[in-house]
Structure 1
């Protein structure tokens, strides 16, 4: 029995000393120590949670560098999420002290160095979200799985959302975009410090979904990230999405000011800065009822603005800043379903018919600036292939397609066109990464390949060679469980993209009260 115990002790000891770990890591703010975990087959991973990348932010101010700390920071617990409405929309959760990030570093038989780096930006409509990967108590985004599978350093960051992240008066008193500045501060921190964590600061990929995908797009377009980002991946959201920019933020600020008993004159900004943060957060919750005549997509008010600083111009005029960044962008074929289900609930029911009139009403809302000519052209575009008496399946599917095209697909296509047009002066061997995709699980392999080198040649097997998206070829890869060469297609939904990007904009605008 004693001999057996001795063998077990030796075995445990050998397992312990064979672990690879960064140990204590030196950063610009001080020393940090994370947790080392065994992930199987002689592989280990260092996990650092709650590492500050900026100081506690001032109310409606840009983030500032963290002053640092003494001793060793035990980075084993996630920081709090940024203050936001809770899932029941009847209170708040989180804290203003929230600018922390998390890092996963995989190791083989030796401690890793110069690994590609992937920085995740979460979605949530710029109103909710966190860096831990949880949504409604479900762990949707695991930094550990991506780091392990792709042999990359994964970083997840937090940024301010809702009123505290995106309230703007439309002038210098409250410029807005504080959440975007938080993201930028985290990206810059990663660039300055990630080498100490085994990452390559010259090989940083930022990626995100929905509002996170739009954020990724904004981060490539701002002049403040020059030289910091090598690659970017936008999933279901780009800066050109109609919901991604508020061009009339003053009215929103005044409404919130009235809700918290602040004046709407020149004293508004100073009053808002002194108001209780939870009260401010709740004041940013607006009516969420919708209909075909009043679509949900137009109720996203606390979003980025063109502030003359982070975004010095319209996003469509800033693609020259992204010319040196390899770019992927993707949509799902039912991306608009969540929004259109709010507007037209019947499309989600087999028992309730969807009137053709709801299709017309939704298109009238989406094309309201162009009046009757816009809605009539839109209706013809989407119904010209219908049978004489369209089935309910056809009508419901058309509503979902309209939402997907208008809210996600067409803006994504437009972003790719503009990126490809600014790509002419690039001279890198990674030029096969400007593409449009339909997301599914295999996209993980393609994404991770592209982070290392090329989506077709990064080491993880993929079934089809992924073509480059160009302004002329317009090729894309449709991802699904049974892919072959026929999955390579071109000119995605060209007829509908042409309507939204060429026909509709050239119709005369109609202005009314």
Structure 2
């Protein structure tokens, strides 16, 4: 879903021109590969770049390999032509692209971009950045992450990859022939391919950074906590995505949905899988190409292998420094962040239908009905975050995300819904993961940013949004590559304001510095020093077009984050304990805990009741203070 926003945002600016192209051949372990040599211009700089496009890292996942884990591609028997892009993986298609690429089941390819100086230097010198695209695991492709300028200007080797999406990437039958989460195994095989072969392209296999945005960031952070990945990469950049955004379901075996739709009415799982593997790809793709609901049924799931726990449980495991997951995560340098309005895309693609708004976020300016907000949206959010819901948690969320200056305004409620969506899905879980990483007794660095700039030519985000939409930092990371124009149908003469050019230069420099050293401040120094993130102070870099020494800040959205860190955490803890006690009473569970005889309750239950009363008293006190402030303000205004 967010992929369509990303695609449009990528269209906003052009920072360079493309010149004459030459051919170049590299000799690798897997054979000769013919690529392109080109020149890009970034500001006043001209840089050479080498491009190797559409290199297969796995066999085509078709026929018997459909729904199965990928198989490494064999070496080439003759020189391979890597001068043009290969097909993208089959996916949900939207109207947001200008020129659509070719789509195919045969899609497991990667692209490599290397600085031109590689030709004059020994192999294996440059830091490597592996980019994983976003798109809610239902859309996106590597060609949109054009790494030519990032590579040439940042002096790194950039690799972008395709991986299977939706039903092709996440069909789960609980069987080795369709074990689920194939998309992550595609990504991991691509990483292994890079580790084995990137030296021939000038990259250092021991200096690899995995980075991604949204679903790509979820993927990168999941790989960062999978112990067998040790040695495949050294650093991670997670842009608007952590495990809690991606995996909440323990439900296995989603094959029934597809089998029913394609009339594979067998009783044995192996027969069903065989039937589905024998179907023409046109039969399968017809089910989901234009159906978001069908596509979104196939998502990451706890499979007991790559993902052994739900996302919330993973965070608990990471808090134990002795766990294998924590040992890997603590050894990696970690840079993460969000946009200040990351949740805005959720209004159009998730909340609109629930709120009965048919025109997305355009003509109506998205007024949010109070009853639907309180009865539909909030309970769903509470359930997504904690696996269950309760009225006390829902009431607390409603209280926190109500604008008490004008609580009946549907537009104020809309703005609060943007903040709520940003906080619960992006900002709070990202800070939580950064807290965990910064808390390790490790030499690995932790860094955090918030991107708040809206590009000058952004025509996608509604005008009422004050801040940066989901994915809006991506064009700056990739320096608005001119090679996107065939996909985006934007005018060739499109230019960028000087302040946005400077912001792009800062981001490229900081990102590639981090890839090289684990420190965004070295080796290329810029006036603004980015401090390490500390759990107590939550230091971060506010990235926008007004870059000054005041861009370094602490404790983002402190009050709202305290709400999730403290109040909701405590409430969810006691709600969980209360539910367990209630279930136990229904089953007449015996108890040997001491009881408070006067009230005929267990001592721990009495303590819980007392704490709950204290919490309720605090909430009442806050309400009283707000009401008094409102009354005094009203009287002052009248006078």
TM-score (normalised: structure 2): 0.67
TM alignment of 1:389-400, pairs within 5 A: 389=407, 391-400=409-418
Deviation, structure 1 residue 127: 0.9
TM alignment of 1:245-260, pairs within 5 A: 245-250=248-253, 252-260=254-262
1:470 aligns with 2:534: yes
Contact 1:62/1:178, CA 8 A, preserved across alignment: yes
Contact 1:249/1:301, CA 8 A, preserved across alignment: no
Deviation, structure 1 residue 65: 1.6
Structure 2 gap segments, 5+ residues each: 1-19, 318-324, 453-472, 477-502, 581-639
Deviation, structure 1 residue 154: 0.8
Deviation, structure 1 residue 288: 4.8
Structure 2 match to 1:122: 133
CA deviations over 1:459-512 (Å, ceiling 9, x no partner): 152x4321212222322221111133333222223433344451353242579x
Picking from 219, 222, 228, the partner of 1:218 is 222
Contact 2:40/2:149, CA 8 A, preserved across alignment: no
Relative to 1, partners in 2 of residues 1:427 and 1:388: Cα closer, same or farther, differing over 3 Å? closer
Structure 1 match to 2:104: 95
In structure 2, what is the Cα distance between the partners aligned to 1:109 and 1:328? 27
Structure 1 match to 2:87: 80
TM alignment of 1:342-361, pairs within 5 A: 342=349, 343-344=351-352, 345=357, 353-361=367-375
Contact 2:88/2:107, CA 8 A, preserved across alignment: yes
Deviation, structure 1 residue 360: 1.7
1:271 aligns with 2:336: no
Relative to 1, partners in 2 of residues 1:490 and 1:274: Cα closer, same or farther, differing over 3 Å? same
Which secondary structure does the structure 1 equivalent of 2:72 belong to?
Answer: coil
1:184 aligns with 2:249: no
TM alignment of 1:227-246, pairs within 5 A: 227-241=231-245, 243-246=246-249
Structure 2 match to 1:67: 74
Q: Looking at CA atoms only, which structure, 1 or 2, has the larger radius of gyration?
A: 2
In structure 1, what is the Cα distance between the partners aligned to 2:537 and 2:416? 27
Relative to 1, partners in 2 of residues 1:109 and 1:78: Cα closer, same or farther, differing over 3 Å? closer
Picking from 501, 520, 543, the partner of 1:455 is 520
Contact 1:232/1:326, CA 8 A, preserved across alignment: yes
Relative to 1, partners in 2 of residues 1:181 and 1:353: Cα closer, same or farther, differing over 3 Å? closer
Deviation, structure 1 residue 75: 1.0
Q: How many residues align?
A: 468
Structure 1 match to 2:624: none
Structure 2 match to 1:363: 378
Moved more, 349-358 or 405-414: 349-358
Contact 1:170/1:249, CA 8 A, preserved across alignment: yes
Deviation, structure 1 residue 246: 3.2
In structure 2, what is the Cα distance between the partners aligned to 1:288 and 1:53? 29
Relative to 1, partners in 2 of residues 1:328 and 1:504: Cα closer, same or farther, differing over 3 Å? farther
1:158 aligns with 2:159: no
Deviation, structure 1 residue 23: 4.1
Moved more, 360-369 or 228-237: 360-369
Picking from 51, 56, 80, the partner of 1:52 is 56
Query: Aligned-pair RMSD on alpha carbons?
Result: 3.0
TM alignment of 1:426-465, pairs within 5 A: 426-427=442-443, 431=445, 433-438=446-451, 440=473, 441=476, 442=503, 443-453=507-517, 454-459=519-524, 461=526, 463-465=527-529
Deviation, structure 1 residue 378: 0.8
In structure 2, what is the Cα distance between the partners aligned to 1:65 and 1:336? 38
Picking from 394, 399, 415, the partner of 1:380 is 399
Structure 1 gap segments, 5+ residues each: 1-18, 134-140, 290-297
1:167 aligns with 2:171: yes
Which secondary structure does the structure 1 equivalent of 2:207 belong to?
Answer: strand
Structure 1 match to 2:614: none
In structure 2, what is the Cα distance between the partners aligned to 1:287 and 1:60? 20
Relative to 1, partners in 2 of residues 1:415 and 1:194: Cα closer, same or farther, differing over 3 Å? same
In structure 2, what is the Cα distance between the partners aligned to 1:391 and 1:508? 31
In structure 2, what is the Cα distance between the partners aligned to 1:337 and 1:206? 26
Picking from 403, 411, 433, the partner of 2:421 is 403
Structure 1 match to 2:115: 106
Deviation, structure 1 residue 350: 6.1
Contact 1:42/1:108, CA 8 A, preserved across alignment: no
Contact 1:20/1:110, CA 8 A, preserved across alignment: no
Structure of greater relative contact order (alpha carbons < 8 Å, 6+ residues apart):
2
In structure 2, what is the Cα distance between the partners aligned to 1:347 and 1:94? 29
Structure 1 match to 2:38: 37
CA deviations over 1:328-379 (Å, ceiling 9, x no partner): 1111111111112341448655666433334323212212422211110111
Relative to 1, partners in 2 of residues 1:372 and 1:287: Cα closer, same or farther, differing over 3 Å? farther
Structure 1 match to 2:205: 201
